[in-house]
Every structure is written in C-alpha cells, then in structure tokens.
Structure 1
Amino acid sequence: MRTLIHLSDLHFGRIDTAIIEPLIAQIHELRPDLVVVSGDLTQRARSSQFKEARQFLDALPKPQLVVPGNHDVPLFNVAARLLQPLRKYKRHITQDLQPSYVDDEIAVVGINTARSLTIQDGRVNDRQIELARRELAAVDDHLVKIIVTHHPFDLPPGPQHHGLVGQAVPAMRAFALCGADLLLAGHVHTSSAVSSAGRYHIPGYSALVVQAGTATSTRGRGESNSFNVLQVQPHEIVVHRLAWQPEARSFALEATQTFVQRGNEWFEQKADGVLGD
C-alpha cells in the first residue's frame, strides 16, 4: 500500500500563515510515500511568492510531484503571460511540466493544464494526452495508475464557478485505453471523490476522480482549508479528507470514502458494503 498526500491551491501571497507549520508537521507524521501538489502554488506568480512556495516544498517530505495552475501564470504582465508564462515556475519550482513518478506499486503522471490565453480555464492538448497514455500504458497493469492535473475532470456538486478541463472527453478516452485508475486535481477549492462514470459513459471503464480543497489559502469557498490523504493499493483506494481546526491549530479527519475496483471500473463502497457509482 502507498500513502499519498494530495495538496492543492496553496496560493502563496494569500495564505493563512497559522496553517503552515502545523501542516508541515502533520504531513511528516503521516510518512507519505509521495506528496502531490496539484497547482496554484502562488496567488499572482510573483517571484517572492514562488520563493515562499519553494521554501514550503523544501520543508515537506520527498519524493514530490508538482504541477502548475492558472495562478502560476502572470496575470497583469501581459508580455510575460504570452511569451514566458511559466518562466518563474520553472525557475523556482521545477523545469519538468509533465513530471512522473513510478515505483513497484504506483505510476503517477502530471500534466500541465495552465494556459496563457485564458484567465482561469485550462486544457490538455493532444500531445500531452498521448504522452500520458504512453507512459501509463508502458507500466505493468498491477500498478495503480494516477494522473495529476490542476484543472478538474469532474466537478463537485453545488454551484459551479469553473468548468471542466478542456479536451476532457478525448483525454478520458485515452485514459481508458491505458487503464488510468485515479485522477487528482484542484482548482475549485472544494473537496470531492467520485467515480468518473457519473459524467463519462465509457463502456467497461471508470476512474476515481478526487478533488482537493485549498490547503493554505484564505480564498475559501465555504469549505475549511483541507488536504487529502490517500491510501492506495490495487483494487482499493481510501480517501481521507483532513480539515483545519483553528482552535486546535491542527488538521482533523473530516470524512473518509472507500472505493473498490471491479474489472476496470471504480465504485464507492458504502458503510453497509453496497457498491454505488
């Protein structure tokens, strides 16, 4: 079994500073096998904000897999936005915009969905989809196969302020071909974990789609700061959501969902053992 920490939407430049040290300490206590950060490390893609984000990442356990978000592209500097949208991200965070991590139990591929010609939306292109498909198709089928993006392939219930990642449908068809099991994303600042079957009707295939809320930002949307802890093994994934408790100055378990795989489809296992979509 592998333990993954899933953080998203850090937004350095607009954070609750009281959260940082307790968050770092708790993540170390959890002894993760991999820390995943699904984008928006900064609020306005400024050098000072990237430096703060870099310091935060350096304080967390390794290995790590990080992808950028739309806030990591300059908003007001139009020339930088159009010509070198991720220059500061690559300088301070990582040069690798399609990072990967593979061990003997999991294979993880990150995809950059941030784009310079839109303010908040994102997309994947054909080349990125094909590269991810090839990488995951090349590993043994007994590994749990994971995709990480900033922009989501599904949306939590309730009022929506954002749309799906562009090219979601062809991407999902490619993910079905390579047997992707788990899709991790952020962007909407709201936590959720659902089967992809509710939105994508691909015969004989579904993935588990997990959204993380914002771990450290004050830009909440009615949900406490939170992060996900995933316990991943073949045919079973348990998703724990830990939420910030200001009085206790720590994150506490708020919800747990268990998903099991039957064939190439993922289903939520209810408390009574019944499987649902």
Structure 2
Amino acid sequence: MTRLLHLSDLHFGLERKELVDPLLDRVNGARPDLVVVTGDLTHRGRSSQFARAETFLRRIEAPLIAVPGNHDIPLYRLPDRMMQPYLRYRRAIAANLEPVGHVGRLRVQGVNSVDTMAWQRGVLTAAQMRRVTEGIDPDCINIVAMHHPMQQRPEVDKALMRGAPQALALFELQGIQVVLTGHLHVWSAGAFLPPEGRGILQIQAGTALCARETDRQNEFAVLDFEGPELRIERHVAPMDEPGFRPPELLLFTRADGGWRKVVA
C-alpha cells in the first residue's frame, strides 16, 4: 500500500489559526508516503503569509510537493504580478513550480495551472499537456496535481480553466488515472464518473485552513492505493466545532479498467 495525503487551499493570511496544530497532528499522525499540496498556500501572496506557509510545511514530516494557486501571486502589486509573479513562492516554498513526486508505484506530476493574466481562472497550455503525457510511467499509477479543476458542476460561478476539456480528454487517452485539484473550496471525489466508469478519477479538495465562514468547514484527504483499489479518508473540521471529526470513508476500484465507486 502507498499512502498519499492531499492538502489544498491553506490560505495563510486568512487561516483558521486554532486548527493549524490539529491539522499538523493529523497529517503527521497519518504517516503518509507523500504529501501533495494543490495551491493557494497564501491568501494574498505576501511575504509574511509565505513565511507562515513555509513554517507550516517544514513541520510536515513526510516528503512533500506543492504547486501554486491563483492566490499565491501578487494581487495589488501589478508590476510584480507581471514581471516576477512567483518570486515569493520560489523563495519560500520551492523553485520548481511543476515538481514530480515518485513513491512506490505512484508518480505524481505537479502542474502550474495559474494564469498570471487572470485573477481566478486557470490555464493549461499545449506545452504543459505534452510534458504531462511525455512523463507518464506505464509501470505506475500516474497522477496529476494542480490547483484548478478540470470539470465543474453547473452551479459553480467560477470560469472553468482554459484548456481543461482538451487536457482531460488527452490525459484520459494517454493513461493518467487520478487528478488532484482544489480552488473551489468544495469537496468532490468521483462526481464526474459515468455509470460505466472512466479512466480518470478526479478528486477535488476542500480548503484545509481557510477561515472564511461561508466555507463552513475545513478538510483534507488521505488516499491509500493498493493494487486496483483506492481507499479515501476524508477528514472534516466544521467551523463551529473545535477540531476534526472521525474520518469518513470512501472506496473506489478500477478492477475492470475504469474507476467506479464501491457502495458498501
């Protein structure tokens, strides 16, 4: 079994401060083989916020990879946004904006889906799609991790990432099996699976630490991969409760070639 832990949308600068230590305790207590953080480590991309995010990540004991989110580049300093949008991110988090994590039979390809010319909407370029597909390892479960979702429910009021439909079709054709995203602060796992199953399982994280009351809860997920089976623990901390509840369990299988949710 290989254990991956998925965090997203930490939003340091608007974080739920009393949840920081309980979150770290859960993350380290899960003993993951790899932690994947899919963007929005900060709320406004400020140096002080990156310093808090860096301190948090350094307290995680497992290997870790992260990709930027749209909140991780300057909002108000337009020259910085245009000329050096990732300067603070690179200094505090990582120089590589599209890292690769490889543990057991999992290969995780980070992708920077931020569009510096837009505030919220992301973008995937043809060059990025090509890099992802060229890096596919036929002996691994190939996972893509990025900030912006590749599909959204009709009620979502944010624009879908540019290039998402083309990338989704290409990734599924070439053998990507799991996509990890964030951005919407709404949990979703398997929401876009048709009854007959499909080659890609999309897992969209909620926000791990953002204190915005309209989010109603914070959460993260632990993913256990074993053969064709995937066991997900969803850890939820409602805003009106002091910490995390016992995890909710979900099961998926790709034993027949396409991902399907297992109903107990």
Same fold (TM over 0.5): yes
Distance 1:19 1:205 in 2: 36
Change in 2 beyond 3 A, CA 1:251/1:62: same
Coordinate RMSD, CA, aligned = 2.1
Distance 2:124 2:220 in 1: 24
Report the CA distance between 1:220 and its aligned residue. Answer: 4.9
Distance 1:109 1:188 in 2: 21
Specify the code of the residue in structure 1 equivalent to 2:148: H
Specify the code of the residue in structure 1 equivalent to 2:64: Q
Aligned counterpart, 2:260: 267
Report the CA distance between 1:99 and its aligned residue. Answer: 0.5
Change in 2 beyond 3 A, CA 1:246/1:43: closer
Q: Does 1:162 align with 2:158?
A: yes
Report the CA distance between 1:264 and its aligned residue. Answer: 3.5
Alignment of 1:176-187 (within 5 A): 176-187=172-183
Aligned counterpart, 1:252: 245
Partner deviation per Cα, 1:22-53 (whole Å, 9 max, x = no partner): 11111111101111100000011000000100
Specify the code of the residue in structure 2 equivalent to 1:211: Q
Change in 2 beyond 3 A, CA 1:228/1:220: farther
Aligned-residue sequence identity (percent) comes to: 34
Report the CA distance between 1:233 and its aligned residue. Answer: 2.4
Aligned counterpart, 1:173: 169
Structure 2: unaligned runs, 5 residues or longer: none
Distance 1:220 1:164 in 2: 24
Task: Report how many aligned residue pairs link the two structures.
Answer: 264
Contact preservation (8 Å) 2:231, 2:250? yes
Structure 1: unaligned runs, 5 residues or longer: 272-277
Aligned counterpart, 1:144: 141
Change in 2 beyond 3 A, CA 1:249/1:158: farther
Q: What TM-score does the superposition give when structure 2 sets the normalisation length?
A: 0.93
Partner deviation per Cα, 1:62-115 (whole Å, 9 max, x = no partner): 210100000001111111111111111111110111100113310100000011
Contact preservation (8 Å) 2:216, 2:239? no
Aligned counterpart, 1:275: none
Partner SS, residue 253 of structure 1:
coil
Change in 2 beyond 3 A, CA 1:204/1:244: closer
Partner SS, residue 251 of structure 1:
coil
Q: What TM-score does the superposition give when structure 1 sets the normalisation length?
A: 0.89
Contact preservation (8 Å) 1:161, 1:188? no
Contact preservation (8 Å) 1:179, 1:264? no
Contact preservation (8 Å) 2:34, 2:103? no
Distance 1:29 1:107 in 2: 23
